[in-house]
């Protein structure tokens, strides 16, 4: 099983639309670890790690987001996997 870790910045109307909670739920469904938090510039930052194919599915989901979100773009880059496990959590504060 190949692991993958990404850091993604989600742009658009992604705050105050349940984006973080929906991201947490989707990551839980996929078995992906990490965290999600709002940024002071109005974007949402996601750091996630897990089986590569599942991280890819979450990355594709981020381009759509929660039902009330309007994602305009997702910038992301891959990082070295650290072997983190556990649920994806919501972090507070920018």
pLDDT tens-digit readout, 59-85: 999 999 999 999 999 999 999 999 888
Alpha-carbon torsion, ordered 81, 47, 4, 49, to 10 deg? 80
Q: Is 54 a catalytic residue?
A: no
pLDDT tens-digit readout, 1-11: 799 999 999 99
* Per-residue confidence (pLDDT) for residue 55, from 0 to 100: 98
Alpha helices by DSSP H, the chain: 19-30, 52-62
Of residues 5, 24, 38, 54, which has the active-site annotation?
38
Of residues 5, 20, 24, 54, which has the active-site annotation?
20
**Cα 31 to Cα 17: distance, rounded to the nearest angstrom:** 23
Q: Which band of pLDDT confidence, cut at 50, 70 and 90, is reported for residue 94?
A: low
Q: What does residue 60 show for φ and ψ, rounded to 5 degrees?
A: -65, -40
**Cα 81 to Cα 84: distance, rounded to the nearest angstrom:** 8
Q: Is 38 a catalytic residue?
A: yes
* Percent of the chain at pLDDT exceeding 70: 99
Which neighbouring-strand residues pair with 49? 5, 33
């Amino acid at each position: 099983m190949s692991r993958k870790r990404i850091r993604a910045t989600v742009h658009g109307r992604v705050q105050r639309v349940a984006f973080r909670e929906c991201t947490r739920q989707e990551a839980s469904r996929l078995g992906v670890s990490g965290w999600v938090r709002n940024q002071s510039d109005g974007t949402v930052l996601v750091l996630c790690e897990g089986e590569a194919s599942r991280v890819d599915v979450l990355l594709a989901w981020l381009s759509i987001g929660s039902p009330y979100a309007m994602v305009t773009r997702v910038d992301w880059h891959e990082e070295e996997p650290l072997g983190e496990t556990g649920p994806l959590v919501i972090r507070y504060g920018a």
